[in-house]
């Protein structure tokens, strides 16, 4: 079967000269950047700063849901030692810390 391409002339009233389809797509990219990408980058930056400032005596919450007190923060490692109870100390990666609370900061209300 023989196919002949059909050429549609640009409409006389099109002020963008055929670029009218490109403008909405560009607008969607800008909207996605400001609504999704940029806030996620800001949250990641705040999380990195929070983890970098963790120190001995801070109360932390891990991604597994454990709440404990930091007992060791070696400078050369990406791990911290967390005391879950008097008899139990565990080493966790700094990247798995979800929240870092100061020594005197009260527990946040989740309601």
**pLDDT score recorded for residue 44:** 94
Q: Is the pTM of this model over 0.85?
A: no
| Rounded alpha-carbon distances, angstroms, from residue 94 to 22, 44, 99, 109 | 44, 14, 11, 24
pLDDT tens digits for range 8-66: 665 555 566 667 778 888 999 999 999 999 999 999 999 999 998 899 999 999 999 99
> For residue 69, which of 89, 47, 96, 98 has the smallest C-alpha distance?
89
Domain ranges of the chain: 54-101
Sequence-ordered list of residues with C-beta below 8 angstroms from that of 10, at least 6 positions apart, any chain:
17, 18
pLDDT tens digits for range 54-106: 999 999 999 999 999 999 998 888 999 999 999 999 999 999 999 998 765 55
**pLDDT score recorded for residue 111:** 47
CATH topology of domain 54-101: SH3 type barrels. (2.30.30)
């Amino acid at each position: 079967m023989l196919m002949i391409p059909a050429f549609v002339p640009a409409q006389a009233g099109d002020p963008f000269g055929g670029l009218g389809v490109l403008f909405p797509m560009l607008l969607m990219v800008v909207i996605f950047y400001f609504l999704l990408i940029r806030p996620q980058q800001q949250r990641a930056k705040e999380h990195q700063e929070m983890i970098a400032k963790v120190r001995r005596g801070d109360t932390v919450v891990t991604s597994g849901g454990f709440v404990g007190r930091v007992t060791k923060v070696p400078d050369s490692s990406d791990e911290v030692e967390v005391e879950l109870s008097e008899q139990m100390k565990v080493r966790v990666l700094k990247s798995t810390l979800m929240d870092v609370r100061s020594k005197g900061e009260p527990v946040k209300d989740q309601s």
